[in-house]
Structure 1
Amino acid sequence: MIVSDHVIYPIRYAKTDAPVTAAPLRRASGLRADLIRRHGPEPMQGELDLGLDELEEQDAHRDLGQLPPEVGLVLVAYACSMDRGVMRLEWGAAELRREDRYLIWHHHEPLASAYGSGC
């Protein structure tokens, strides 16, 4: 969903009561990873330039072509299991590290504690 030039994107990051700051993505490629890399915040730390020719960036997931390039991304991250329901619910902005599947949160905060009882 796009609201005020931002994509609101839900992501279940864990099935246990783990902090959102310890959340890896299941995969470092695909729609979710491409969305975060292209529309998430600029990396906090620039990449080291060794003067080598850069590798060509892989094509983004085809569905991202439907999004205007200027939209931002707000992640709604939640930890949820079928037996315990929603244990944590936060929203914020995160970048995806290039070298692995881990998110670096620039800002995150809990949403209201009136969680539902299922996933």
Structure 2
Amino acid sequence: MGKVSELSMLVDELKKCGETLIGISEELTELFSSTELEKQPIKKSAAKMKEPEPPAKKELTLEEVRAVLADKSRAGFTEQVKELLKKHGADKLSAVDPAEYKALLADAEVIGNAG
């Protein structure tokens, strides 16, 4: 019976990991989604799965915004990133008002995506 209970514990742990990953993916989708219409709920294959608690809305951090802008800059869009910073009232990211972070990320999303 020891192996069965061990397997049962492993299955439970795997379910928790899956729920955590779903929560993370939903939060990332929300973070990088430019409109509410683009969001689509993730379909769950098993009705028995517990619904994960919705992640609390958190403020964006300087580090999160810096990571996105650094990726854009490395992709060859340094000038566009500098223009965005100026548009949001600063010459460097650390001078941008944290209230502007969400709008700044929304503007940064379109860099390199325009066809």
Coarse TM-score class (shorter-chain normalised) = under 0.3
Higher relative contact order (CA 8 A, sep 6+): 1
Taking structure 2 as the reference length, the TM-score comes to: 0.22
More strand by share: 1
Specify the structure having the higher radius of gyration (Cα): 2
